[in-house]
Amino acid sequence: VKAAFIRQHGGIEALEVGELPLPTPGPGEVRVKVLYSSLNHLDLWIRGGIPGIHVSFPHILGSDAAGIVDSLGPGTTGFTAGDEVIIHPGLNCGKCPRCLDNWESLCPQYKILGEQVCGTNAEYVCVPAQNLFLKPKKISFQEAAALPLVFTTAWQMLVRRAQIQSGEFVLIHGAGSGVSTAGIQIAKLFQAEIAVTSGSDEKLKRAESLGARHLINYKKQDFGKEVRKLKPGGPDIIFDHVGKDFWEKNIKCIAKGGRLVTCGATSGNQAVTDLNHVFFRQIQIQGSTMGSKLDFPLILSHVEAGSLRPVVDREFPLKDIALAHRRMSEQGQFGKILLSH
Ligand SMILES: [Zn+2]
């Protein structure tokens, strides 16, 4: 079957498109014919290699996908061939205290599809049945493939970790990224006042149409000073995945008792933290990764109702995955980059 994969870690040139054996669904698994998958920043990290994460080659990248149920493994129930489904990329044991408490991403066996195990950039993928959700008819396959990882991540960051409240002031960095386009909409759903940063005026305008009220171009303005003009005490919540480049300013501009929630560090992960600010002003620094499948039906119901909407940037055929990776690494996108299979 056709697949995009890597035989070694490296740059965009490490990506190959070719034929790999058809995977066989194991007990409790479902084989899905993938119609669309989508890119995440994680794909670039995995392609390059992450210290401590072992990958066996050839490795298929990709965490998100939507498609059609093709066949079931032994003893698998709950789905039938032909069902239209969305794949949730969080793999967990389902039995440990963390899983039973619905904090699956803290499970000792937690994995992400496409990270430690082969992912969705292929014609067929096998996943545990508990990772499949029926695709609501109102949601297109393209939207369905765009939403799982970023909406799951942004939901956990804002709702579970920062516990966003109506009327709070939220600063969201990197307005054009998939996770930020999700975060803006979730913050709006909770009736927060939203400021966004981006280095592109065009992306800021588009973020405004998603619900951001205040637009800050960090290349032209000092976002720390700007946000303090907009909200004198500082933002209640900062939603970050930029890391190093913004970190010191995040710590200085956030409100007393504010929650700084981070799910990534695209500009670098070795950042300086002035601890005087952390303790005197009682700042909470919250790490977050992925989220719970428990929240996913609720996210889907909001998408169905139109209050959340996956933002699709552009679509590439799977054979052109290198162009898709290039677009993401150059940060040209607004929202999610899709691959059609
Ligand atoms: Zn577990």
Q: For residues 222-243, b (16+ Cβ closer than 10 Å) or e, as one string?
A: ebbebbbebbeebbbbbbbbbb
Burial degree of 205 (CB within 10 A; 0-12, 13-18, 19+):
middle
Q: How far is the CA of 108 from the centre of ligand 1 (A)?
A: 6
Give the mean pLDDT of 119-148. 97
Q: What is the DSSP letter of 161?
A: I
pLDDT at 330: 93
Tally the C-alpha atoms within 13 A of residue 337's C-alpha that lie toward its C-beta. Answer: 27
Cα 105 to middle of ligand 1, angstroms: 8
Over residues 104-109, the mean pLDDT reads 97
Distance between Cα 52 and ligand 1 center (Å): 20
| Average pLDDT of the residues in 137-141 | 96
Give distance in angstroms: CA of 16 to centre of ligand 1: 33
Distance 325 CA to ligand 1 centre (A): 32
How far, in Å, from the CA of 152 to the mean position of ligand 1? 18
Cis peptide before 58 (omega within 30 of 0): yes
CA of 323 to the centre of ligand 1 (A): 37
Query: For 199-228, what is the mean pLDDT?
Result: 97
pTM for this entry: 0.96
DSSP state of 7: S
Rounded to the nearest whole angstrom, what is the distance from the C-alpha of residue 148 to the centroid of ligand 1?
20
For residue 293, how far is its CA from the centre of ligand 1 (angstroms)? 13
Q: Is the pLDDT of residue 79 over 90?
A: yes
| Spatial distance between the Cα atoms of 169 and 208, rounded to a whole number of angstroms | 15
pLDDT tens digits, 51-63: 888 899 999 999 9
- Cα-to-centroid distance, 263 and ligand 1 (Å): 20
Provide the 8-state DSSP code for 233. T
Instruction: Tell me the CA–centroid distance for residue 112 and ligand 1, in Å.
Output: 13
Distance 100 CA to ligand 1 centre (A): 7
Q: Are 248 and 285 in contact (CB under 8 A)?
A: no
Per-residue confidence at 158, pLDDT binned at 50, 70, 90? very high
CA of 205 to the centre of ligand 1 (A): 41
Whether the Cβ atoms of residue 180 and residue 174 lie closer than 8 Å to each other: yes
CA 95 to ligand 1 centroid distance, Å: 5
Kindly report, residue by residue over 283-310, the tens digit of the pLDDT.
Answer: 999 999 999 999 999 999 999 999 999 9
Spacing, Cα 94 to ligand 1 middle (Å): 5
Give tens-digit pLDDT for 305-328. 999 999 999 999 999 999 999 999
Cα–Cα nearest to 34, from 93, 84, 73:
84
Rounded CA separation 95/292 (Å): 14
Give the Å distance between the CA of 240 and the centre of ligand 1: 27
Does residue 331 register a pLDDT over 90? no
Calculate how far, in angstroms, residue 101's C-alpha sits from the geometric centre of ligand 1: 9
Q: What is the pLDDT of residues 267-287, one digit of tens each?
A: 999 999 999 999 999 999 999
Average pLDDT, the chain: 97
Residue 143 has pLDDT above 90, yes or no: yes
62, 66, 5: which is closest to 35 by C-alpha?
66
Burial class (CB in 10 A: 0-12, 13-18, 19+), 209: exposed
What pLDDT was estimated at residue 99? 97
How far apart are the CA of 107 and the centre of ligand 1, in A? 4
Å from CA of 269 to ligand 1 middle: 27
